[in-house]
Amino acid sequence: MDTVICPIDVRCGDQVSALLRPPSSQQVQDYFDELMSTRQCHGLKVGHNGLHGKGVYAGMDFEEGEIVLRDQMLVGVQHLSNKIDCLVCGFCFQFIGSIELQIGRKLYLQSLGVSSTSDECTKGMMAHNSKACYGASLSSNADADPYKANGGDFGACSSSSSSDTVGLPKELLESLMNGRLTLPHSDKFPLPEAISCPGGCGEVYYCSMLCSEADWASSHSLLCSGKRSESLSKDALLRFTQHANETNDIFLLAAKAIAFTILRYKKLKAACPKETHNGSVAWSLLLEAWKPIHMGYKKTWWDCISLPDDVSDETAFRMEVKELAFTSLQLLKEAIYDKEYEPLFSLEIYGNIIGMFELNNLDLVVASPVEDYFLYIDDLPNTEKIQAERITQPLLDALGDEYSACCQGTGFYPIQSCMNHSCCPNSRAFKRDEDRDGQATILAARAISKGEEITISYIEEELPLAERWASLADYGFTCRCSRCLEEGEEEEGGETP
């Protein structure tokens, strides 16, 4: 895999090595003590355990079912295909707009022939990523209200033209999206208003100005394709995004991590007196800006990615992965590169960032309020239910089995990522009904005593021993938890496999 040569790795070899050097135990302790204090996580402590590197430990007793941690992601991304089903805040990932907008927007995109399972998903989203899909007024007759025109019964609308793939007229969908039509009892499920990106890209929306400003400051100002973008080339940025959408959205996460570091560096530099600006100071500031990424466990992506079952030539496969990453990096470099922070654009850095996500990321899942809405209608007293379903049932029929699709993506959570694996964990990642954003929620699976290490399972716990170990091989270790040792002793010959 040495045939892919990145010139920056050659020019900045010493700096790249310094950025990738594992942090010392004291650096880890200091960083996470400060992070825990900032986030008021007083019941936990991160430290080295001498065996698996970093670990998270209980600073107090936890009862079964109690929240151990609510961890805010460092960077996260919603999967492209899921954007058809769910309009969520681009920073905290909670649902936004209204029940009407969520339903109307999804059906509108479906009526255009775009679906979350279609091979044309990427093309469709790019071609139809208009304001219409996100709730702005459409070019329809403002006086035409299909609900009123049909006496409040959507069933009368269900036999629309054959070109309408969801069986409902476009005018109805437009009324749902632009707020002219209110569904019965939707006021029981209020959602934050959808706020446009401050850069004017029309691709990202937020639940509040607070989230909008936070995302802009952390990464989006460099990755926005709107008029206020701080990128070098919006065209290059669009090419990078298209490549990521067509190959692997983990590249979008890597771009966020690099943009995050660059913007932290700029902020730190702006706070320093100009007379102190020199090469050594700039390097120390870059190291400080890199620290949140530095703390994550890393391996290069092409070395740690799982080998697909149908791959016979492992070396060729890993080379293809490395070349894919290099292509992505070159596109990103065209969009946001600056000589001042050149080492961040080395292939080794890029590969290690992606590898960190590959090994540590947690699925981003947020339950849909649309599911709650239809369940609420179904639970109404019979008379109210019959009246409401005259309006809602045609929408539910048009949505089909995917009506309850949740927000799905992936994210890197700095504290959760320090939790070690056990096949008999004392904690688990689990979203409660009240958890309506993208934060990671870790609950105690049993009572946990103060000082005990917090563990989770990286894999499916119900697998047999051999399959668990095969799955964990991708993480680079063999599990020696009490369950594995006990099951190993029961194997033929009484020896651990």
In this predicted structure, what is the pLDDT of residue 494? 52
Q: Is the domain of 343 the same as that of 250?
A: yes
Question: Which residues of the chain have a pLDDT value below 50?
Answer: 117-152, 155-165, 496-497
Phi/psi of residue 323, nearest 5 degrees = -65, -35
Same domain, 109 and 164: yes
In a domain, 53, yes or no: no
Domain-located, residue 182: yes
Alpha-carbon distance 475 to 305, whole Å?
9
Evaluate whether residue 447 is within a structural domain: no
269 and 312 part of one domain:
yes
Pinpoint the alpha helices (H) of 310-464. 314-336, 347-360, 369-378, 382-399
Q: Give the range of the structural domain holding residue 481, as residue numbers without chain letter.
A: 461-497
**Together in a domain, 291 and 321:** yes
Are residues 230 and 137 part of one domain?
A: no
Co-location of 186 and 227 in the same domain: no
Question: How high is the pLDDT of residue 53?
Answer: 78
Q: Tokens at residue 347, please?
A: 């292939």
β-strand 427-429 against 440-444: which pairing, if any? antiparallel
Same domain, 348 and 204: yes
In a domain, 129, yes or no: yes
- Tell whether 171 is covered by a domain: yes
List the end-to-end C-alpha distance of the chain, in Å, as a whole number. Answer: 32
Q: How many CB atoms lie within 10 A of CB 340?
A: 12
316 and 375 together in one domain = no
32-46 in b/e burial notation, b at 16+ Cβ within 10 A? beebbeeeebebbbb
In a domain, residue 432? The reply is no
The reply to whether 262 and 149 lie within a common domain is no
pLDDT value for 165: 46
Tens digit of pLDDT for each residue in 442-486? Answer: 999 999 999 999 999 998 888 999 889 988 887 878 898 889 988
Structural domains of the chain, count: 3
Residue 399: inside a domain, yes or no?
yes
Q: Are residues 203 and 144 in the same domain?
A: no
Question: Among 302, 330, 362, which residue terminates a domain?
Answer: 362
Residue 415 CB burial class (10 angstroms; 0-12, 13-18, ≥19): buried
Is residue 429 a part of any domain in this protein?
A: no
Pairing relationship of beta strands 44-48 and 54-58 according to DSSP bridges: antiparallel
Residues 331 and 375 in one domain: no
Residues 208 and 126 in one domain: no
What global pTM score does this model have?
0.87
Residue whose pair of structure tokens reads 């990321």 in the numeric block: 361
CA-derived radius of gyration, the chain: 25
Q: pLDDT tens for residues 359-410?
A: 999 999 999 999 999 999 999 999 999 999 999 999 999 999 889 999 999 9
